[in-house]
Structure formats: structure tokens, C-alpha cells
């Protein structure tokens, strides 16, 4: 059903961005600031893309619908309306190159490669924290102290992570301007060392690696729920989280359509960007043990909806299900579910055969800067698969009560051989270990 003018005019702001659909892919994105932006979703060459038509009421409903119809006509001709718009867009004149004009063009240039939530958040940061200070200034006249001043305003409200991301984005705008001949230098590079340091990270509670067998066996024997089916789901969710190094929310909302090639040689879990902390798609290569666990859940759920369903139809297990299970197992204050990731990271680093980039990608850690290259969810997939399989085999040994070597706290499979070019991801395969032997379930 099409929107009415009054619905758009009186749409109220909320804590999170939300959409008002008009039909044909056209919708209004209502920002937490109250601004209302016309957007159009469409698919071209099998990929979902996004067009931006401007802000309401500057762009009227009739104008937005006309632009949608034009875009749909181009699609009917087999043309990408986003590419057609870029080809026809005139470059801004050099003498009118304000920072805001160029920043918005930089954002429009990137928008098709970003998911909608991240694209909206990026522009919102500029509108809230950057444009009021330097948006109207000619880009060639902006200095490092001006940029530092606006960043310090963000720092002073305690948003240190946001302040760094703003600095990175401003630098990207300047590099975009330099490439197009609208600026000659990037003053943001002179801010290194001028920003407040990040506070020391408080790591989630976790057991030492020597206690890994105890933890795995406690999960296998978990009997903290009265309902046998609830016990089974909680137990499997904990094991799956431990096997995949994922976050609690990623396990809770795991859906069957996200899994690929479960019967093939390279099974993966493709988590969409909107469910990830960094708003980027993340691919998890699945170990044999993870696939076996999924097959058990597949039989229990008939492969419909969520992998770990909650008590209500169509809803996942609650956000407290797994952490409360840790409490019931006696780990309150000693082991959190998020701490599984820290335990796995410590194990991988202490093996001394795994590149730190593989470990960081497996944990879905990635800076929003492009210094180290564009993020690729499939990067290092082969060595990451071997690493996660080695970890799963380590957990299988833990389930069989094989103790960890006390001198290093690392449970090692048979020592892996590493090729000379291991930095390129060519790690020799590990000897095959037994899969999870979960043993008899508590009644």
C-alpha cells in the first residue's frame, strides 16, 4: 500500500532508524535525528543495491515516486540505475567545493558497497558531528586543528570509538577529493597522537586453557533446565558458540538459510552484515563437529526458521539463556559466553602457527579503516577452516578428558607442519582427530 503524505510528514523519530515503505522498493528512512530520507532498494545482476533520492520535504513524495519510476524503467531496459546516475552526475566545480558537498558525493559513491544500516549510520555521524563545524568550509582551506577541535567535542562526551571512526571517514573524504583534483592534501593524517587513547579493554571472564576439558565436559553434562528439549537446545547452542568463535547474538539468531554446503566439502555459515557488530558480512568455515551438531538440530527443527529456537514460536533463545547456563554450571564470575572467544584466541595465538590476521578475521574483528585493504568476508577462508578444525579437534580431545600440558596451557593436536609460505595461507593439513563424542545425555 502506498504511503500518504501525512504519514511521512508526521513520522516521529525513534531510537533506531526505521522505514516507511511506499512500494516498488521506494521507502522513507526515518533517522533518530528526525530527518527523513528517500531511498529505493532494487536488485541488479543478482545483487541488492540502494539509490538515494534526497531528503523529505526538500524532495517531495511526487518527485521521489517519479525518480523511482525512472529507475524501474532503466531496470526494465537491463540497465543499472545507480550506474546510470553516476555516469550522468556532473562533478562539483572546484570553487564551490565545500566539505559537505564532497563528503556527500563520497558517501553516494560508496553507498552501493555498504549495507543500508551502515550507510545510514555513516551519514548520520557526518550530519551530527562534522557538517555543523566544517561542512560549509572549502575543503582546500580546512586545517588539522579544525578537524581536531570537532573530534575533541565527540571525545568529551565519552564516544572515543566514534571519534576515531569520524577521523578515519574524514580522511577518506579528503583522499577522495585528492583523487578527483579538488584538494591537494589530507590534514587528518597530522592528528596521529593527538586523539585520546582508547581505554584499556576489560576482557570478559574466562577460564585458563588448562580448564578447557572441565568446561567442555560441564557443557556436555548440562542439566540446568527442567524441560529435556530446552536442555538440549541450550547445550547445543553453547557448543556451537564455542566451536565457531561467534558472539552470543550471532548464535541466537542463526537461521537455516544462512548455512551453505552442509553436505559438501566446504560447509560455511554466511552471517549477513546487518547481524554483525561491524555491519559486514562474515563467513564462518564450519568444522566437521559443527556440521554434525547442525545435522542434529536440523532433525530437531525440520530445517525451518531458527537453528536454536526459543520457547515462543519464531523467537530465538533469550539473550540470557547461555550465560545463565554458565551460572548454573558454577561459572558465575569465572566464565562468560563471550569469554569463549578470548579462550579460543589465546589458544590460536599460543599454537604459534597461525597468522594473526587469520585469527582476527575468524573473530570478525576488523577496523573500519581501509589502510590494510578492503574487507573481504572470504579472505583467508582456507587457513581459517584448518584453524577452526584444529580447534574443534582440540575440543573433541577435551571432551574425551585428555589433559592439557601444564607448562604452556595449550592442548595441541599432533604437531602440525607448516609450509615456508604459511603467511599466504598454505598450512599443511592436520591429522584427522575424532569428532565430538558427546556421550549419553542426562535425562
Active site residues: 247, 277, 338, 341, 365, 375
Cross-strand bridge partners of residue 419: none
Rounded to a whole number, what is the distance in angstroms from the first to the last CA of the chain?
52
Q: For residues 337 and 323, what is the distance between their CA atoms, to the nearest angstrom?
A: 6
3-class secondary structure for the chain? CCCCHHHHHCCCCCCCCEEEEEECCEEEEECCCCCEEEEEEEEECCEEEEEEEEEECCCCHHHHHHHHHHHHHHHHCCCCHHHHHHHHCCCCCHHHCEHHHHHHHHHHHHHHHCCHHHHHHHHHHHHHHHHHHHHCCEHHHCCHHHHHHHHHHHHHCCCHHHHHHHHHHHHHHHHHHHHCCCCCCCHHHHHCCCCCCCCCCCCCCCCCHHHHHHHHHHHHCCCCCCCHHHHHHHHHHHHHHHHHCCCHHHHHCCEHHHEECCCCCCCEEEECHHHCCCCCCEEEECCHHHHHHHHHHHHHHCCCCECCECCCCCCECCCCHHHHHHHHCCCCCCCCCCHHHHHHHHHHHHHCCCCHHHHHHHCCCCCCCCCCCCCCCCCCHHHHHHHHHHHHHHHHHHHCCCCCCCCCCCCCCCCCCECCCHHHCCECCCCCCCCCCCCCCCC
Whether the bond between 285 and the residue before it is cis, its omega within 30 degrees of 0, is no
Amino acid at each position: 500500500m502506498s504511503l500518504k503524505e501525512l504519514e511521512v510528514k508526521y513520522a516521529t523519530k525513534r531510537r533506531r532508524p526505521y522505514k516507511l515503505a511506499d512500494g516498488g522498493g521506494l521507502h522513507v528512512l526515518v533517522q533518530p535525528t528526525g530527518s527523513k530520507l528517500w531511498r529505493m532498494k532494487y536488485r541488479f545482476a543478482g545483487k541488492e543495491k540502494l539509490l538515494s533520492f534526497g531528503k523529505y520535504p526538500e524532495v517531495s513524495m511526487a518527485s521521489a515516486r517519479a525518480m523511482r519510476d525512472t529507475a524501474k524503467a532503466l531496470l526494465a531496459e537491463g540497465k543499472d540505475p545507480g550506474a546510470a546516475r553516476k555516469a550522468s552526475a556532473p562533478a562539483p566545480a572546484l570553487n564551490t567545493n565545500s566539505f559537505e558537498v564532497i563528503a556527500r558525493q563520497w558517501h553516494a559513491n560508496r553507498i552501493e558497497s555498504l549495507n543500508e544500516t551502515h550507510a545510514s549510520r555513516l551519514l548520520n555521524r557526518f550530519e551530527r558531528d562534522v557538517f555543523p563545524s566544517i561542512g560549509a568550509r572549502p575543503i582546500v582551506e580546512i586545517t588539522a586543528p579544525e578537524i581536531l577541535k570537532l573530534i575533541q567535542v565527540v571525545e568529551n562526551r565519552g564516544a572515543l570509538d566514534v571519534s576515531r571512526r569520524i577521523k578515519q571517514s574524514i580522511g577518506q573524504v579528503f583522499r577522495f577529493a585528492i583523487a578527483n583534483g579538488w584538494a591537494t592534501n589530507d590534514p587528518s593524517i597530522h592528528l596521529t597522537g593527538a586523539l585520546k587513547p582508547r581505554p584499556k579493554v576489560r576482557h570478559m571472564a574466562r577460564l585458563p586453557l588448562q580448564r578447557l576439558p572441565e568446561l567442555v565436559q560441564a557443557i556436555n553434562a548440562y542439566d540446568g533446565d527442567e524441560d529435556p528439549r530446552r536442555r538440549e537446545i541450550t547445550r547445543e547452542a553453547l557448543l556451537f558458540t564455542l566451536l565457531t568463535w561467534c558472539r552470543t547474538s550471532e548464535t541466537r539468531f542463526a537461521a537455516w538459510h544462512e548455512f551453505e554446503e552442509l553436505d559438501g566439502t566446504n560447509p560455511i555459515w554466511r552471517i549477513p552484515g546487518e547481524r554483525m557488530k561491524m555491519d559486514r558480512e562474515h563467513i564462518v568455515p564450519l568444522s566437521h563437529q559443527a556440521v554434525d551438531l547442525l545435522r542434529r538440530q536440523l532433525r530437531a527443527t525440520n530445517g525451518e526458521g531458527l537453528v536454536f529456537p526459543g520457547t515462543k514460536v519464531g523467537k530465538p533463545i533469550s539473550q540470557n539463556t547461555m550465560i545463565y547456563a554458565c551460572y548454573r554450571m558454577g561459572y558465575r564470575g569465572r566464565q562468560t559466553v563471550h569469554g569463549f572467544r578470548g579462550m579460543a584466541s589465546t589458544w590460536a595465538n599460543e599454537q604459534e602457527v597461525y597468522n594473526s590476521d587469520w585469527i582476527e578475521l575468524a573473530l570478525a574483528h576488523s577496523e573500519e579503516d581501509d589502510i590494510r585493504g578492503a574487507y573481504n568476508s572470504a579472505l583467508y577462508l582456507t587457513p581459517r577452516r584448518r584453524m577452526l578444525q584444529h580447534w574443534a579437534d582440540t575440543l573433541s580431545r577435551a571432551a574425551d578428558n585428555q589433559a592439557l600440558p601444564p607448562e604452556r596451557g595449550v592442548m595441541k593436536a599432533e604437531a602440525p607442519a607448516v609450509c615456508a609460505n604459511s603467511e599466504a595461507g598454505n598450512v599443511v593439513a592436520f591429522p584427522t582427530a575424532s569428532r565430538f563424542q558427546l556421550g549419553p545425555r542426562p535425562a
